[in-house]
Structures are given as structure tokens and as C-alpha cells.
Copies of this chain bind each other. A is one copy, B any other.
Amino acid sequence: MDKLKIGSREFSSRLLLGTGKYRSFEEMRDSLEASGAEIITVALRRLDLSNTGQPGLLDFIDPQRYTILPNTAGCKTVQEAVQTAQLAAAMGLPRWVKLEVIPDPQYLLPDPIATLEATKILVEDGFEVLPYINADPILARYLQDVGAVTVMPLGSPIGSGQGLLNLPQIQIIIEQAQVPVVVDAGIGAPSDAALAMELGASACLINTAVAKAQNAVQMAHAMKLGVEAGRAAFQAGRIPRQVYATASSPLTGLPALGS
């Protein structure tokens, strides 16, 4: 079986889905189901921890079906990110974290220095850490060396839907990685997800492209197919690209026709 192994956990689906930006909790729930995702990310800072009696995000997520991956969205510093991860664990969420340290409000690009620092701290504190990074192969190796259980390079800025602008560097990361590489951010359509998987990425994490599609539930299903298509193609071994054509229909030794 073709399982995705991240740290101590194992999954069949290679599509991780975010829970932000949906028009309603119902739409989010239905999109999760259509996507086939087993891992779903939740921004800890979005959880309403007060007990208001109103239904919240977690009421729409079946804990038997999904593994929640807390993320530190909104954290700008090492300290904020570390505290947020620890708070999630204290709440009883799984002791792993998608680590985001993002000081930049415009492009939401991650901080390489702070991300490495926070990864070290959280690994020592017993977390399985999945850091979100720019597509920097050397940084990816640093993170792997300090114990990150995966690396999550961005394809393009969060929510931009621009696809894999960093493709060549993502290829180098995949080539050098000993942990799973999860392409995160920038995927806008199934073709982007399929391409990432064809290159050998282990999984894709998608949020905006599903939540903000005109029909989120159908797009969730489309992304599921795109990830599966790309994985199957990676395993099947694609043809090389070549400049010249090669006839699909070999014609040697055929009887003369016409003219």
C-alpha cells in the first residue's frame, strides 16, 4: 500500500485540507468530506475557547475521521508560535504542529530564521513539527537535521493561486529530502496539485483554492482527483519531454495507399 508517513502517523490520503475561509461551517464540513482528506489544519487562534454555547468549528469536525493538525497562523515571532503550539497540546489536540512564523502581512512569506529556531524548541519539547517555509533547499536540510518530520515549501504566496512558481527549487528539495515534502500554499487548481505530485512531492496542503472556489465542495473533489492523478503518474513513470515529435502511429512496412 502507498501510505503517507509523517512522523509517527500514517495516512492513505495525500491531500491535506485547511479549514479557513469557507462561507459556512456546513460548506467546510462538506468540502472536507468531498476531499477525502484525513489531515485537516486548524488555526489555533481561530478556535473559540470561551464556552459560549454557540456551535464552533470543532463541532463540525468528526474526530474519528480526521486528524487535526494545529497551525500557528497569525504568529509573527518564535515566542508566539511556540506558545500557540503548546496551548494546542494543552487543549488536548495532537502533539504535532504546522509551524508558521510569518512577519510579513502582504505576501505572508515565512521567516526562515525564526522558523528554524521555533522548530528546534518544539522538537525538544516533544512535538512533531511540520514547518512552512520558502522553497529554500538549504533551509529544508537544516530543518530536517534538527528533527522536522516534514518540510512544507510554498509554491507561491498563500491564497494567491499562482501555482508552483518555485518549481525548480521544490524539485531540488524533493531530490534531497529524507522526510516527506508537502507542497503548501499557492495551489490554485488540480493541475497545480497534480504537477507537484508528479515531481515527487509526498502530499499537498490546500485551503484557499477550495474554500474560495465558486463551488467549494466540487473543487474539493477536483483536488482529490488531481492529487491522486499526480501520485499515480509519479508511480507510473512519465515519458521524458523532448523537443522533436515522435509519431504515435508507427507506419513502417505498411501497404501504399492513395496518391
Chain A residues close to B by CB (< 8 Å): 18, 20-21, 43, 45-46, 49, 71, 73-75, 77, 79-84, 87, 103-104, 106-113, 116, 134, 136-139, 142, 156-163, 165-169, 172, 188-192, 194-195, 198, 207-209, 211-216, 218-219, 221-226, 228-230, 232-233, 235-251, 254-255, 257-259
Contacts of A46 on B, CB cut-off 8 Å? 249-251, 254
Stoichiometry (number of copies): 4
Supposing A43-B251, A45-B251 touch, asked if A218 and B241 sit within 8 A by C-beta, the answer is no
Contacts of A81 on B, CB cut-off 8 Å? 258
Contacts of A134 on B, CB cut-off 8 Å? 134, 136, 138-139, 169
Q: Can you pick out 20 interface pairs between chain A and chain B where the beta carbons lie within 8 Å of each other?
A: A45-B249, A46-B250, A74-B247, A84-B258, A112-B113, A113-B116, A159-B247, A160-B243, A161-B239, A161-B241, A161-B242, A188-B238, A189-B233, A189-B238, A191-B191, A209-B239, A214-B237, A222-B236, A223-B229, A229-B229
